[in-house]
Amino acid sequence: MIYDQRDALHSAYLRQQLGVIGQIPHHTFATSEGFVGFIEAGHAYGMVPMLQARPAFERGTLVDLTPGCYLDVALTWHCWSIQTALTRTLTEYVVATTARWLLPASDPATA
């Protein structure tokens, strides 16, 4: 199960963890809640962000098929080149919030 046709994370993970190269058969489900719900219902397997998966792990409705194996995804904050008090405040808020909620990259060079 992948999110949409541009979702390359599944292929990257299979290549990184299992050495699988090339396309594998898949279905798409382009809503975040529907994607996770379909996987949680046991209809498919897929990659779910840890922040979104944690409650389902705690409920026992999702299972980690490869414990201890992760695919770090670098996130970038795009903001306007015109600096105003509002854009600076918004950027500070985004950086502070992500520091509280997201896991740091395994390798600092990938961050």
CA 57 – CA 64 distance, rounded (Å): 8
Structural domain boundaries enclosing 108: 72-111
Report residue 62 as tokens: 């999702």
Domain membership flag for residue 1: no
Phi and psi torsions of 89, nearest 5°: -65, -45
Q: How many domains does the chain have?
A: 2
Cβ-contact 10, 45 below 8 angstroms: no
Report CA dihedral (100, 105, 108, 111) to the nearest 10 degrees: -80
Domain membership flag for residue 65: no
What is the per-residue pLDDT across 23-44, written as a single tens digit (0 to 9) for each?
Answer: 888 888 878 889 999 999 999 9
pLDDT of residue 63: 93
Domain membership flag for residue 15: yes
Domain membership flag for residue 96: yes
pLDDT of residue 70: 85
> Is 111's pLDDT higher than 50?
no
